[in-house]
Amino acid sequence: MRLSGISYRAGSELWLRDVDLSLAEGGINVLLGATLAGKTTLLRILAGLDRPSTGSIRKGESDLTGIAVRQRNVAMVYQQFINYPSLTVYENIASPLRVARKPAAHIEARVAQLAATLRLTPFLARYPAELSGGQQQRTALARALAKDAELLLLDEPLINLDYKLREELRAELKQLFADGHTTVVYATTEPLEALQLGGHTTLLAEGRVLQSGPTLEVFRRPATLEAARAFSDPPLNVIPAGMLADSVRIPATRTPASEIVLGIRAHEFSLAGAPGRAALSGKVELAEISGSETFIHLARDDVRLVAQVPGVHDLALNQLCTLYVRPASLYGFDRDGRLLFAPES
Amino acid sequence: MARIDLEDVGHRYAGATDSWALRPLTMTWNDGGAYALLGPSGCGKTTLLNIISGLITPTRGKVSFDGRDVTALAPEARNIAQVFQFPVVYDTMTVFDNLAFPLRNRGWDATRLRRRVEEVADILELRADLARRARALSADQKQKISLGRGLVRPDVAAVLFDEPLTVIDPHLKWLLRRKLKQIHQQLQLSLLYVTHDQTEALTFADQVVVMSEGEIVQVGTPQQLFETPAHRFVGHFIGSPGMNFLACEWSAGAATIGGVRLQTSSAREPPSGAALSIGVRPEYLELAPAPGPNRVPVRVAAIQDQGIHTMVQVEIGASLAWAKLRSPASAARSATTFAHLPPQRCALYADERRVP
């Protein structure tokens, strides 16, 4: 499926601007972006719920632009779980199969299989109101899967669930789609979720596509500073190259060093010095311990840094602290934010 | 600020005669502490918070603030501040007036009030916005005002937070979490924070209270919960992914997997008849190309390159386990045939409990 030149205008506001995008067929396509980046708008256009102001959606030779959702084989799951309140879990999952007039034996087998995959078997006789949030969302997912759609659109489907449940369902979903049968589009605000899902990732910001490609490639080679920022959690550390140029050699480019901006991902910092590593010192603003790791927030002049280092480190407020980084893990960007160099992977 | 004591406090919701939403418990919250209540939905953490705030009167037990019995008092009479999941802000008022509201209600004089509002605004980096109307602000700025309103009164017994960052984007969560932590260090308020998100709980609190099915299963520092979970639930719930539990046997005074004797940090013998497992965190499970002490044979089931980490899933005896490596995926592929369980980084679990 290919989207070309898609824009969407609501009143005086442009919600999507000139979006070009190809979906990897039979794979997971992650739409990653902050709230209001245009993820939901794009999903609704893909579903045929909204018609784009300009541009087209094509699949092979056929033009799908503006073709209503009912005439296409699409399923969508929203942030808020939507189920039929008056139907049992069994009937909720079975409903798309009944609409498609499948034989009774087929329906029974398919519902049993989906319920087993999504661990809903003990709850088939219950009504949605008698379920926990996680069980309700799994029911909504099972119903979407029962439709056996070519295109499955998931709009932050795990956001309203508990952290731990999210982690488990994410792994299950990934397995579920591994057979390559369904093209999945998965919208999220969380970079780590994109990394765990893998597949392809499209970075969206303010209605524009920043970058699109295989998830790890986009993560490791962001084309711009904006893309690198959008795909970093904790936030990307950004410093002028001059801050390090005295201690290490940064890769040579045609751009003078004074105009280069360096990007450092938080997990690349270490508290241990070693030959060849660049050193950055500052005052500790905060040390957050997350169990296995410590997030160190450092202030140096008006630059703020975050390091994610393994182990537990109790650092006092305002204490002087030095972070080390391998020159090979640096990103370089020019004045306009274009990537100059990236770590080799 | 106050010390809060719960004495044999338990709660059943009307109609639920046979099940406790909160099983009777006794616990003290120290003055000036930063606590998190962590657990999945339905574990009783919000019930516990509401009992402390006075929104719920417990079915049994006594709640005291600094020794004074407040069990029957309404929330307004308890001198607490609360911050909720969604920002509660007066849109038509300025940021200043929003922050000043709780102080004006208590008759503060103008000079003292201005000083306090500015102090809180400085910490939250809202100083430049004080004259703006709240309506014009973004969602995270509004939540900052909510936080500020909760924090502005220096004399509250405690500030209670109910999932205050759930609706905030990841980038801003970092900022607000940092702010909260700084506020605790600067203002020395007693803070109680309810969340299902382990990162929020562990980074925010000095003491984390982990709850499951209406019960407190462990209270500890983030490090204790991570390194020495007292209960399998804590091992599973804290950490991403949670702790691995490898089914094992007990023979001739040692834990064994497939006949290999393994040392753990547990000094005592497990009770006989209990289901035994060895708990080891994915961060501490090491992969090795050759046999050695405390190494068991493995088969690699899956390798996932997740950019920051490489996740390797291995079969160990009858169990599946994850190893979380900081090295690139290529390192894991080369001839992994054994897993090393560092003795001080793993422990024996009998049924659900850690063997000391």
- Nearest chain B Cα distance for residue A145, angstroms: 25
A194, A188 Cβ separation under 8 angstroms: yes
Test A189 with B237 for CB contact under 8 angstroms.
Answer: no
pLDDT for res B334? 58
Report the chain A residue with the minimal C-alpha distance to residue B171: A235
Residue type, A109: A
Chain B residues in contact with A35 by the CB 8 A cut-off are 139, 169
B351 is written with which tokens?
């049924």
Test A306 with B181 for CB contact under 8 angstroms.
Answer: no
Higher pLDDT residue, A98 or A316? A98
Test B242 with A164 for CB contact under 8 angstroms.
Answer: yes
CA pair distance B27, A45, nearest whole angstrom = 54
Test B185 with A317 for CB contact under 8 angstroms.
Answer: yes
CA pair distance A250, B229, nearest whole angstrom = 44
DSSP B268: S
Element (H, E) at B114: helix B110-123
Higher pLDDT residue, A134 or A210? A210
Decide if A108 touches B, using CB distance below 8 A: no
Q: For residue A71, count CB atoms less than 10 angstroms from its CB and return exposed for 0-12, middle for 13-18, buried for 19 or more.
A: exposed
Decide if B138 touches A, using CB distance below 8 A: no
The CA–CA distances, whole Å, from A179 to A113, A176, A202, A208, B152 equal 15, 7, 22, 31, 55
pLDDT at B1 > cutoff 70: no
Higher pLDDT residue, A205 or B140? A205
Chain A residues in contact with B185 by the CB 8 A cut-off are 317
Q: How many interchain CB pairs under 8 A, A with B?
A: 90
Decide if A133 touches B, using CB distance below 8 A: yes
Q: What is the pLDDT of residues B171-215, one digit of tens each?
A: 778 778 878 887 887 778 889 999 988 888 988 898 999 999 999
A47, A76 Cβ separation under 8 angstroms: yes
Report the chain A residue with the minimal C-alpha distance to residue B207: A289
pLDDT for res B28? 93
Residue type, A50: D
CA pair distance B178, B167, nearest whole angstrom = 17
3-class DSSP state of B345:
helix
B262, A331 Cβ separation under 8 angstroms: no
Q: Helices H, strands E: what count in chain A?
A: 9, 18
B10, B204 Cβ separation under 8 angstroms: no
Instruction: List, in sequence order, the alpha helices (H) in A204-248.
Output: 215-220, 225-230, 242-245
Could you tell me the pLDDT band of residue A244, with boundaries at 50, 70 and 90?
confident
Question: ∠ at Cα B122 (B117, B125), nearest 5°?
Answer: 120
B235, B242 Cβ separation under 8 angstroms: yes
Higher pLDDT residue, A72 or B143? B143
Q: Helices H, strands E: what count in chain B?
A: 9, 23
Chain A residues in contact with B237 by the CB 8 A cut-off are 164
pLDDT for res B330? 62
- Reference A69, options A95, A48, A85; nearest CA is A48
pLDDT for res B168? 76
Could you tell me the pLDDT band of residue A88, with boundaries at 50, 70 and 90?
very high
pLDDT at B285 > cutoff 80: yes
The CA–CA distances, whole Å, from A113 to A109, A118, A176, B64 equal 6, 9, 12, 53
Chain A residues in contact with B304 by the CB 8 A cut-off are 196, 198
Decide if B242 touches A, using CB distance below 8 A: yes
Test A292 with B185 for CB contact under 8 angstroms.
Answer: no
Q: What is the pLDDT of residues B104-157, one digit of tens each?
A: 988 899 999 999 999 889 888 889 999 999 998 888 888 889 988 988 988 888
Per-window interface: A 224-263 vs B, CB < 8 A: 233-235
Q: What is the pLDDT of residues A209-229, one digit of tens each?
A: 999 999 999 999 999 999 999
B151 is written with which tokens?
């924090």
Could you tell me the pLDDT band of residue A345, with boundaries at 50, 70 and 90?
low
Contacts of A187 by beta carbon, 8 Å cutoff, 6+ apart: A30, A31, A33, A39, A40, A42, A43, A154, A155, A156
Decide if B330 touches A, using CB distance below 8 A: no
Report the chain B residue with the minimal C-alpha distance to residue A163: B197
Q: For residue A202, count CB atoms less than 10 angstroms from its CB and return exposed for 0-12, middle for 13-18, buried for 19 or more.
A: buried
Looking at chain A, the whole-number percentage of residues with pLDDT higher than 90 is: 59
A215, A193 Cβ separation under 8 angstroms: no
CA pair distance A245, A257, nearest whole angstrom = 8
Could you tell me the pLDDT band of residue B86, with boundaries at 50, 70 and 90?
confident
CA pair distance B304, B295, nearest whole angstrom = 23
pTM higher than the cut 0.90: no
- Reference A325, options A266, A273, A269; nearest CA is A269
Mean confidence (pLDDT) of chain B: 90
Listed in order, strand segments (DSSP E) in A60-150 are 62-63, 74-77
- Nearest chain A Cα distance for residue B228, angstroms: 11
Looking at chain B, the whole-number percentage of residues with pLDDT higher than 90 is: 58
CA pair distance B317, B18, nearest whole angstrom = 41
Test B41 with A292 for CB contact under 8 angstroms.
Answer: no
Test B308 with A265 for CB contact under 8 angstroms.
Answer: yes
Decide if A317 touches B, using CB distance below 8 A: yes
Instruction: List, in sequence order, the alpha helices (H) in B208-328.
Output: 222-227, 232-237
Test A34 with B237 for CB contact under 8 angstroms.
Answer: no
Test B40 with A196 for CB contact under 8 angstroms.
Answer: no
Per-window interface: B 168-197 vs A, CB < 8 A: 169-171, 174, 177-178, 181-182, 185, 196-197
Mean confidence (pLDDT) of chain A: 90
Residue type, A171: A
Decide if B42 touches A, using CB distance below 8 A: yes
Q: What is the pLDDT of residues A301-315, one digit of tens each?
A: 889 999 999 888 888
Q: What is the pLDDT of residues A251-302, one digit of tens each?
A: 778 888 888 999 999 999 999 988 889 999 999 988 888 878 899 999 988 8
pLDDT for res B275? 95
Could you tell me the pLDDT band of residue B73, with boundaries at 50, 70 and 90?
very high
Decide if A216 touches B, using CB distance below 8 A: yes
Higher pLDDT residue, A82 or B244? B244
pLDDT for res B280? 97
pLDDT for res A206? 94
Test A198 with B174 for CB contact under 8 angstroms.
Answer: no
Decide if B202 touches A, using CB distance below 8 A: yes
CA pair distance A125, A221, nearest whole angstrom = 49
Test A235 with B171 for CB contact under 8 angstroms.
Answer: yes
Question: ∠ at Cα A49 (B139, A115), nearest 5°?
Answer: 85
Dihedral Cα A191, A192, A196, A202, nearest 10 deg: 0
B143, A9 Cβ separation under 8 angstroms: no
Question: ∠ at Cα A139 (B37, A184), nearest 5°?
Answer: 100
Decide if A306 touches B, using CB distance below 8 A: yes
Q: For residue B329, count CB atoms less than 10 angstroms from its CB and return exposed for 0-12, middle for 13-18, buried for 19 or more.
A: middle
pLDDT for res A342? 94
Provide mean pLDDT across the span A77-87: 87
Q: Long-range contacts of range A163-169, CB-CB < 8 Å, 24 or more positions apart? A: A163/B196, A163/B197, A163/B198, A163/B199, A164/B40, A164/B196, A164/B198, A164/B236, A164/B237, A164/B242, A165/A134, A165/B40, A167/B240, A167/B241, A169/A134, A169/A137, A169/A138, A169/A141
pLDDT at B85 > cutoff 90: no
pLDDT for res A60? 79
**3-state secondary structure labels for all residues of A279-327:** EEEEEEEEEEECCCEEEEEEEECCEEEEEEEECCCCCCCCCEEEEEECH
pLDDT at A15 > cutoff 90: yes
Give this complex's ipTM. 0.84
Decide if B116 touches A, using CB distance below 8 A: no
A333-337, B264-268, B303-307: which has the minimum mean pLDDT? B303-307
pLDDT for res B333? 62
- Nearest chain A Cα distance for residue B212, angstroms: 13
Residue B202 has its nearest CB partner, among A219, A235, A290, at A290
